[in-house]
Amino acid sequence: MEPAWKPRPLTLLALVMLLAARGTADVLLEDCCADGHRLATQKRDCSVPYASESKECRMVQEQCCQNQLEELHCATGINVAHEGDGCDSHHDNSSLEAKFIKKCCHCCLLGKAAQAQGQSCEYNLMIGYQCGLVYRACCVKGQEASELAPGDVAAAPSDPTKIPEEDLVDQEDPYLHDRCRGGGPCTQQCRDTGSTVVCSCFVGYQLLPDGVSCEDTNECITGTHNCRIGEICINTVGAFRCQRESSCGTGYELMEDNTCKDIDECESGIHNCLPNFVCQNTPGSFRCRPKLQCRSGFIQDALGNCIDINECLSINAPCPSGQTCINTEGSYTCQKNVPNCGRGYHLNDEGTRCVDVDECSPPSEPCGAGHLCINTPGSFRCDCKAGYYFDGISRTCADINECRRYPGRLCGHKCENTPGSYHCSCTVGFKLSSDGRSCEDLNECSSSPCSQECANVYGSYQCYCRRGYQLSDVDGITCEDIDECALPTGGHICSYRCINVPGSFQCNCPSTGYRLAANGRSCQDIDECAAGTHNCSINATCFNIQGSFRCLSFDCPENYRRSGDTIRHEKTDTVRCIKSCRPNDVTCVLDPVHTISHTVISLPTFREFTRPEEIVFLRAVTPAYPANHADIIFDITEGNLRDSFDIIKRYLDGMTVGVVRQVRPIVGPYYATLKLEMNYVVGGMVSHRNVVNVHIFVSKYWF
């Protein structure tokens, strides 16, 4: 007997092979998987922490535990299906365990139902691979149980497909080598005979010549349908349906057997009979019979109301010759005929003959007020005033619409009809000329409609504004001040601060240390040292910086004297001390420092700092040494606390130049003293050294 279905951890095969290839000799992933199996079998819980130090081992333990737990839940579902109590009777459907049990229970019940109905045990791929295996296992076991002899039934287990959960763990999948596993090569049904694989199709499909694929069978073309006369065959995917060639029509409905049945509108309540009527069903329709019966001389209308019958309009005249029939409510009367006068005539007082009617006699005015009426036999005629004409239909004097009769020829712009005449008018921006018909341009600017400037144009006018103002978008007349400081470029109009004024703007500078340049926008530093407005003492030197000044006093250290050739460069002030040793002072002579300089430099706060700024240039002259192999090394030894500066070496015009650069943005006010050294190195030894102290003042402004 073939064992029942046993789910295998196929989903873990690729993971285990990959992790086994990456695992080390210290960790056997097979042991890790075995631990996961034991945890699922004994604890029935995979959420406990795993003790292995290997990340790969913990991953394998968790996956093997989850897979084994699903197998145990599925086995429980198969047993529930064999007990026959229903898949929802033993568990809470909200838990994950209950969902797996219910799934495998339903799949097993589907397999048993297929076996009971004599269907194939080959599952449909659309139900899923796992469910398909359970379906096939329960179906095959049902077939084997039904094929046992009566004597074998007593020896067989009570349910051949009911498997103890503890025995399911070590069973091998009986379909491991089944070539139809997963559907095999077939698109619908697959059967492995042992020697070959046979594909088949569902009902309503036929196998293609490739022996694998299936296509829909068109029963309407092959003639395998069972549609009757009067019905047409319509092919559907895997089946067909029959439909009547013609509809049943109004008042009938189509039945399932394609016959037409009368609709009883009265019974179904879909009639539209009023409350005063009774509905009576007829084949394909219905009638509304009135409840109220009318007396003689009346007839009932569609609403059930009794209306009078005009007997005078009947085919058989009720009155004798020479008399006229007059209808009355519910009856009629006959009256003797009198002479009938034509239009424009009436009977005389005796009623014996017809005489002319004088339509023009007062107070009648048939032609209209102000027009002349002339009576004629049986009629009249009108002599109309200018601007009117005689209307033969209404027989009165009607106004002539000159604007419509002569369009575009009477007035230059607009024509308005008036009684007996017309009136010309002009559109906006024009005025009527002296001839009363033409239009000429109106100079609107003469009434000063604009707040500033006005330009007259043909038929209109245009307002414009003076410099520094703009025309309002609301009324197109008022001029509004332009706030130049608020424009997108307003931040660059003035160096420091922009103040809007009506029609223009003004630039301001800081209250001290700056003055407005001649262009009215830039701020110019005031050199207090050159202007003599500083307050430095006689012992201190005035150094100008951006927006202010500093009083500094630099004294030369011992063995140094102040040089008389102190040079002044643009934006820098330098004090230089040269070594001056006393006689026989060996220590002084051996000291490599030859000069000590102090330089003051003022910098702005760079608003947009995108690249290093070169601020100090140290030019070095190589002293004469044998073979002239002196190397000059520049270095910043003190004061560069924020690493905001660096120094690089450059060769320019045959000289070695040390360039001090600002490499990071600095927001002022800020003060730093950089100690720079120029070392002349010969043979690996410093033979000559110049020290430059650069006093850097950074202004808080960017100009």
Residue 450 reports pLDDT greater than 90: yes
Give the list of residues 6+ apart from residue 378 with CB closer than 8 angstroms, or none. 342, 343, 344, 345, 356, 357
Residue 654 reports pLDDT greater than 60: yes
Mean pLDDT computed over 40-51 = 75
Residue 90 reports pLDDT greater than 80: no
| Residue 103: how many other CB atoms lie within 10 Å | 19
Query: Residues of the chain with pLDDT > 90: what percent?
Result: 18
Tokens of 548: 């202010």
Among 90-99, 240-249, 486-495, the minimum mean pLDDT is found in 90-99
* pLDDT number for residue 676: 92
pLDDT confidence bin for 16, thresholds 50/70/90: very low
β-strand partners of 374: 381
Residue 11 reports pLDDT greater than 70: no
Is residue 32 exposed (0-12), middle (13-18) or buried (19+ Cβ within 10 Å)?
A: buried
Per DSSP, 413 falls in state S
CB 432 within 8 A of CB 420: no
Give the separation between CA 52 and CA 59, rounded to whole angstroms.
10
Comparing 1 with 549, the larger pLDDT belongs to 549
Mean pLDDT computed over 215-234 = 85
Tabulate helix, strand, coil % of the chain (nearest 5).
20, 30, 45
Mean pLDDT computed over 584-588 = 89
Tokens of 470: 């703009």
Whether omega before 363 lies within 30 degrees of 0, making that bond cis, reads yes
Closest of 546, 504, 492, 496 to residue 523, by C-alpha: 496
Residue 21 reports pLDDT greater than 60: no
**68 alpha-carbon distance from chain centroid:** 47
Residue 17 reports pLDDT greater than 50: no
Dmax of the chain from CA atoms?
176
Question: Whole-number mean pLDDT of the chain?
Answer: 80
pLDDT confidence bin for 89, thresholds 50/70/90: low
Dihedral sign for Cα 447, 451, 456, 462, please. negative
Length of the chain as a residue count = 703
Give the separation between CA 652 and CA 583, rounded to whole angstroms.
38
Residue pLDDT, tens place only, 148-161: 434 343 333 444 44
Comparing 639 with 202, the larger pLDDT belongs to 639
CB 638 within 8 A of CB 603: no
Residue pLDDT, tens place only, 383-431: 898 889 888 888 889 999 999 988 988 999 999 999 989 999 999 989 9
H runs (alpha helix) in 302-435: 402-405
Give the list of residues 6+ apart from residue 566 with CB closer than 8 angstroms, or none. 574, 575, 576
Comparing 22 with 213, the larger pLDDT belongs to 213
Give the separation between CA 262 and CA 536, rounded to whole angstroms.
122
Among 8-22, 192-206, 504-518, 543-557, the minimum mean pLDDT is found in 8-22
Q: Give the three-state DSSP class for 242.
A: strand
Residue 9 reports pLDDT greater than 80: no
Residue 512 reports pLDDT greater than 70: yes
Give the separation between CA 306 and CA 574, rounded to whole angstroms.
128
CB 204 within 8 A of CB 238: yes
Mean pLDDT computed over 7-33 = 48
Q: Tell me which fold the domain 345-400 belongs to.
A: Laminin (2.10.25)
**H-run or E-run covering 111:** helix 96-116
Question: Alpha carbon of 518 to those of 28, 440, 499, 521, 525: distances in Å?
Answer: 87, 53, 17, 8, 13
CB 662 within 8 A of CB 569: no
DSSP for 500-554 reads EETTEEEEE--SSSEEE-TTSSSEEE--HHHHT-----TTSEEEEETTEEEEE--
Comparing 229 with 701, the larger pLDDT belongs to 701
Break the chain into its structural domains and give their ranges. Answer: 10-200, 345-400, 404-442, 534-698
* pLDDT number for residue 694: 93
Same CATH fold assignment for domains 345-400 and 404-442: yes
CB 39 within 8 A of CB 51: no
Question: Alpha carbon of 39 to those of 16, 20, 43, 566: distances in Å?
Answer: 18, 21, 5, 91
Q: What is the CATH number of domain 534-698?
A: 2.60.40.60
* pLDDT number for residue 322: 66
Domain 404-442 -> CATH class: mainly beta
* pLDDT number for residue 239: 83
Among 212-216, 240-244, 557-561, 645-649, the minimum mean pLDDT is found in 240-244
Query: First CA to last CA across the chain, in angstroms?
Result: 100
Give the separation between CA 387 and CA 410, rounded to whole angstroms.
14
CA angle 71, 76, 81 (to 5 degrees): 125
Residue 570 reports pLDDT greater than 80: no
Query: Residues of the chain with pLDDT > 70: what percent?
Result: 85
Per DSSP, 171 falls in state P
Give the list of residues 6+ apart from residue 137 with CB closer than 8 angstroms, or none. 4, 5, 78, 108, 111, 161
Residue 33 reports pLDDT greater than 90: no
* pLDDT number for residue 623: 54
* pLDDT number for residue 416: 94
* pLDDT number for residue 92: 62
pLDDT confidence bin for 648, thresholds 50/70/90: very high
pLDDT confidence bin for 174, thresholds 50/70/90: low
Give the list of residues 6+ apart from residue 648 with CB closer than 8 angstroms, or none. 634, 658, 659, 661
